[in-house]
Amino acid sequence: MEVQEIYQQLEKQFPGKVGEFKGDVPEPYCTVSPEAIVEISRFLRDDPNLKFEVLSDLTALDWPKEEKIQVVYHLYSYSNKSQIVLKVDLPRDNSKIPTLEGVWKVANWFEREVFDLFGVIFEGHSDLRRIMLPEDWVGHPLRKDYVEEEEYDGISTQRAPLVEKLLR
Amino acid sequence: MQAYIDQLIRDGYFAGMPKEVVYAVAMVLAAFIVLSVFVAPLAGVTSWLERRVWARMQSRVGPNRVGPQGILQWLADGIKNLLKEDLIPSAADAKLFSLAPYVVFVGFLCAFVVIPFGSQLIVADLNIGILYILAVTSLVVVGILMAGWSSNNKWSLLGGMRSAAQIVSYEIPAGLSILTIVFLAGTMSMQGIIKAQGWAPWDWFLFNNPFTFAAFFLYFTAALAEGNRTPFDIPEAESELVAGYVTEYSGMRFLFFFFAEWGNLYVIGAVATTLFLGGWQVPPVTSDPILLGVLQFVVFFLKAYLWVFIAMWVRATLPRVRVDQLMALCWKYMVPLSFLCLLGTICWMLVFPKGNQIFSVAMFVLGLLIVAYFFKRVVFQIRHARPELYFKPHI
Amino acid sequence: MNETAPVQSQGFYAEEMTISVGPQHPSTHGVLRFVVKTDGEVINEAIPDVGYLHRSIEKIGEKVTWHGYVPYTDRADYLAAMFANQVFCMAAEKLAGTEVTRRGEFCRVIACELNRIASHLISVGTFGQDIGAMTPFVHALRERETINNLMEEICGARLTYNYIRIGGVGYDILPETCTRITEFLDHFEPIVDEFNRLLSNNKIFIERLAGVAVISKEDAFSYNLVGPNLRGCGIKWDIRRDIPYSVYPELEFEVPVGTGQVGTLGDSYDRYWVRIRELQESCKILRQCLKMFPKGPAIAKVPRKFKPPVGECYARVEAPRGDMGFYVVSDGSEYPYRVRIRTGSFTAMSIIDKLSKGIMVADLIALIGSLDVDAPEIDR
């Protein structure tokens, strides 16, 4: 099934909640509104024609210029061998989105990672803790404007320039 | 040996000394001689041999630097471990922690008292010899439990618990298998059991009847389990429990555990040889007592070491069983089977009070055929896998 | 006088024991940690704790050029570095529309399949060691050593290859190397049988794994298991076959799936057995590739300043640990705007929490081994 058709079906099913569709790129994607992501995913998973069984990937993109964080969902259907990319635009300062844990269990860890590295809060998540970084880490490193703290737990994070290091 | 000392006393060598002191000194001296001349090098060389055998089976080289073919590696290891700091974790129960290795060590060492290396070479031929071995080797479980508990480490505790359950369980099939031989020989003295057999394989208790044949393998399996050897090495299961009850040990105390393990391997082989394989019995080729003694020693040693080698082989080959499977194997299969062997042997003794020579020879031939078939398979597999390519440095 | 107070009946109770498996533990395959709550030997809960090896490879991607990022992808999964190379280059090529030369594609497939054999050898070998068999591990590493030698011939590195470049491969595979690969295959195919006789068909080994930590198809989808773990559940899905890339459509190979031959479908043994079968399939693929190896340049002309147009793309390959995906976003500059690495171990790790309830400590080790999780790949 073409991605175009899936998109049209989605638009019919969820009027007003599905945004723009981009089909002329290597990975066609469509934008959906944050509050509809759970029901759209559930529909995509359970619909007998679509059958998107798995959530291949869940990540985020930071666009400081447009003042938004995009959460990107890669869904894949083993039955139809088709992929669809869903994107959700969130504001940068207060990025909140419902969790997909109820639809795909794997979202638990993916969302923890996005929370850790981007600071997106997944509402309703059962165990939203940092996963990669220590619990007491400050900031979310994959945001474009992230600046490393001078030191962490008394350990300097600054690297001396090579020449200085050699002279010392 | 007691007779020899009595003779010396009668000859007036120790005039003016109380008899008990002479005995005590003689005992300590004997223990020291056995320990330093035989047990320590034996355990050491066994450790080196195990590493070499293992290495060859894994197409590695193994320790080959210290001494010819690395045979002195165990000395170097011993010295290294002696010089290491004796660490006792601050949270550990220091007294028990320090004591545990010695308990394990004593448990295995005491077994050497009754192991016969020849018709004359035995420290004490106790009339309850085999029972004594079963009793003192049980000390090992106390030591391991002490080590596991006193380390105050959860891995050690799990290891100690596993070990206690395992050793206590496997005492039963081991004891029952030994009992079949005690019935056949009519004595528990180690020398007595050997004397009840002959030098020829068909005179061994192994081929006496099908039940002793089975009992032998039951004994060997149970002994491996008691000795914490693969596939029953769950108390120190490296990949699960880090190192089990020895996790917190270092230096010489650590070495004592492994000293005991390798020495114990020899005890397993020696007991198996004594009970089933005719012990030191040699064909009547010479009447010279010294030559005979040497011959007996060599024969006994080779037979015992064959089983040490097989234990190494098994360790290199088999994976480890799980705790519940280990218990199931013991209680569901080995205990009933060893009871069956015991009953079968008794029935056999009733039917053939003098034994059945023809059957024994037939059993022996059958055994040889099995070994021959096994070697044929080994040769086939070696050809099939083209080992000459293993050592090609650059394909 | 000697009267003692009556023993107060406290009732029998047992405490839950909390054990920390890792970060340094012989069978966590790297720096992983599990907070395990056990009732004696039986696990009530095993909570994975990852992140000890986080090297922020994704963030580094935003600071280096497209070409310069290839060596970093090696470090994502150092046991199968070739695949991360390939999938990143595929993503970049897809974005820029670069065509890979035909010989380059074959070089890639040969290098990747060799790497797959090496990675699976580590996997099954260490798995044997987790179960307690020491010899298969050394035998597996011995064979891997030969592959490392071959890799050294092909690309000059033994572990982190940096071989596959955007547009092709860094160095052509020489005819002598091809001969040596054939020699290795002649040697290796019987070794797989030997390995099976030594380990796979061993009764104790089978008993330890049959029916342990069974993953249902639903769970496999829900937790997005990939690669051999997914196929172990009986789902015939291999990206090489189903989303064909490179020259795989021209090659003939089977996709082994778990059958539950010794226990339940989807148990630890099935996952292990799929890997063993894949070793043989990789040998088959390698032989075909060597036969079909075309002539020509190994790398296409790619500008030194590689600037793909604005856009994004998601590429996936079938790595030894399953579907490895790179999601790259370009803003038209010399540097990637965002690189996202999606790995098989990450999702495989997340299922351990669910599967570990009620199994024994020894089974947990078998479970980790059978999922073939690789710490650097989880944490990236």
B154-209 pLDDT per residue, tens: 888 888 888 888 888 888 898 899 888 888 888 888 888 888 888 888 888 888 88
Alpha-carbon distances, residue B297 vs A14, B118, B119, B219 (angstroms):
91, 5, 9, 23
Question: What is the distance in angstroms between the Cα of A42 and the nearest Cα belonging to chain C?
Answer: 12
List the single residue in C with minimal CA-CA distance to A52: C221
Region of B203 please: left (phi>0), alpha (psi -120 to 50) or beta. Answer: alpha
Instruction: Inform me whether the C-beta atom of residue C51 falls under 8 Å from chain A C-beta atoms.
Output: yes
Report the gap between the CA of C63 and the closest CA in chain A (Å): 11
CB contact under 8 Å between B384 and C139, yes or no, is no
Distance CA C164, CA C161 (A): 8
3-state secondary structure of A20: strand
User: Domain spans of chain B?
Assistant: 84-348
Q: Check A53 against C59: CB less than 8 A apart.
A: no
DSSP string covering A116-151: HHH--EEET-S----SSS-TT--S-TTSTT----SE
- Which residue among C27, C149, C360 sits closest to B239, beta carbon to beta carbon? C27
Side-chain half-sphere CA neighbours of B314 within 13 A:
20
Q: Residue B248 gets which letter from DSSP?
A: T
CA–CA dist B223, B209 (Å, integer): 21
pLDDT tens string C65-77: 888 898 898 888 8
Q: What's the CA gap between C214 and C268, in Å, rounded?
A: 7
CA distance B168 to B330: 11
Q: Is beta strand C42-49 parallel, antiparallel or unpaired with respect to C168-169? A: unpaired
Over residues A22-61, the pLDDT tens digits come to 777 777 788 888 888 888 888 888 888 778 888 888 888 8
Instruction: Tell me whether residues C323 and A56 touch, CB distance under 8 A.
Output: yes
Spatial neighbors of C376 by CB under 8 A, at least 6 apart, are C30, C53, C55, C75, C76, C77, C78
Q: Which residues of C touch A72 (CB under 8 A)?
A: 327
pLDDT at A1 over 60: no
Query: In the block, which residue shows the tokens 């280990």?
Result: B326
pLDDT value at position C5?
A: 45
Determine the Cα–Cα distance for residues B316 and C273; give it in Å rounded to an integer. Answer: 22
Angle at C175 between CA C174 and CA C178, to 5 degrees: 95
List residues in chain A touching C: CB distance below 8 A.
Answer: 25-27, 53-57, 59, 61-62, 72, 74, 78, 81, 83, 85, 104-106, 108-109, 113, 117, 130-134, 141-142, 144
Set of chain C residues whose Cβ sits within 8 Å of the Cβ of B237: 132, 362
Chain C partners (3+ C-beta pairs within 8 A): A, B
A167 CA to chain C: closest CA distance, Å?
27
Question: Strands A18-22 and A29-32: what pairing?
Answer: antiparallel
Helical axes B94-109 vs B129-137, angle rounded to 10°: 160
Does residue B231 have a cis bond before it (omega within 30 degrees)? yes
- Sorted by sequence, the CB contacts under 8 Å of residue B261 that are 6+ apart come out as B227, B228, B229
Size of interface B-C (CB pairs under 8 A): 102
Name the residue in chain B with its Cα closest to that of C205. Answer: B319
CA dist B308 and B315 (Å) reads 11
Low-confidence ranges of chain C (pLDDT < 50): 1-8
Show residues of chain C in contact with B316, CB under 8 Å.
134-135
DSSP letter assigned to residue C30: S
C-beta of residue B89 within 8 angstroms of C-beta of residue B78: no
pLDDT over 60 at A131, yes or no: yes
> Is the peptide bond prior to C23 cis by the omega test (within 30 degrees of 0)?
yes
Q: CA-CA distance, C281 to C192, in Å (whole number)?
A: 11
Say yes or no for a CB contact (<8 Å) between C204 and B57: no
CA C70 to chain centre: 19
**pLDDT for the residue B387:** 56
Instruction: Give the one of A59, A108, A132 whose C-beta lies nearest to C340's C-beta.
Output: A59
pTM: 0.86
CB atoms within 10 A of CB B366: 13
Q: What tokens does B336 get? A: 């009933």
End-to-end CA, chain A? 64
Q: Is A109 in Cβ contact with C346 (below 8 Å)?
A: yes
Of A83-87, A164-168, C126-130, C373-377, the least confident: A164-168
Residue B152 in contact with partner chain C when CB distance is under 8 A: no
What is the spatial distance between Cα C29 and Cα B93, in angstroms, rounded to a whole number? 32
CA distance B263 to B104: 11
Task: Check residue B295 and give its pLDDT.
Answer: 86
CB B265 within 8 A of CB B229: yes
Nearest-angstrom CA–CA distance, A14 and A31: 12
Question: Which is nearest to C66 in space by CA: C84, C102, C91?
Answer: C91
Question: Mind listing the domains of chain C with CATH numbers?
Answer: 1-54+353-373 (no CATH), 57-342 (1.10.645.10)
Chain A hits for C349, Cβ within 8 Å: 109
- Cα separation, A73 vs C189, in Å, equals 42
* SS3 readout for B66-119: CCHHHCCHHHHHHHHHHHCCCCCCCCCCHHHHHHHHHHHHHHHHHHHHHCCCCC
Smallest CA–CA separation between C127 and chain A, in Å?
Answer: 25
Contact B115, B190 (CB under 8 A): yes
Tell the residue number behind the tokens 């380059």, with chain if given: C104
Q: In what order do the strands lie in the sheet with A68-77?
A: A18-22, A29-32, A82-91, A68-77, A54-63
Mean pLDDT, residues A108-133: 88
CB within 8 Å: B384 and C194? yes
Give chain A positions within 8 Å (CB) of C221.
Answer: 53-54, 78, 104
Q: How far is CA B210 from CA A72, B178, B364, in A?
A: 72, 15, 11
Tokens of B210: 């099908």
B75 min Cα distance to partner chain C (Å): 25
Q: What is the pLDDT of residue B15?
A: 67
Q: Which helix (H) or strand (E) holds A62?
A: strand A54-63
Q: Which residues of chain B have pLDDT under 70?
A: 1-3, 14-16, 384-395
CA neighbours closer than 13 Å in the CB half-sphere of residue C116: 30
Rounded CA separation C244/C231 (Å): 17
Q: Do chains C and A touch (3 or more CB pairs under 8 A)?
A: yes
Whole-number pLDDT of residue C120? 92
Q: Are A38 and A100 in contact (CB under 8 A)?
A: yes
The CA distance from A113 to the nearest CA of chain C, in Å, is 10
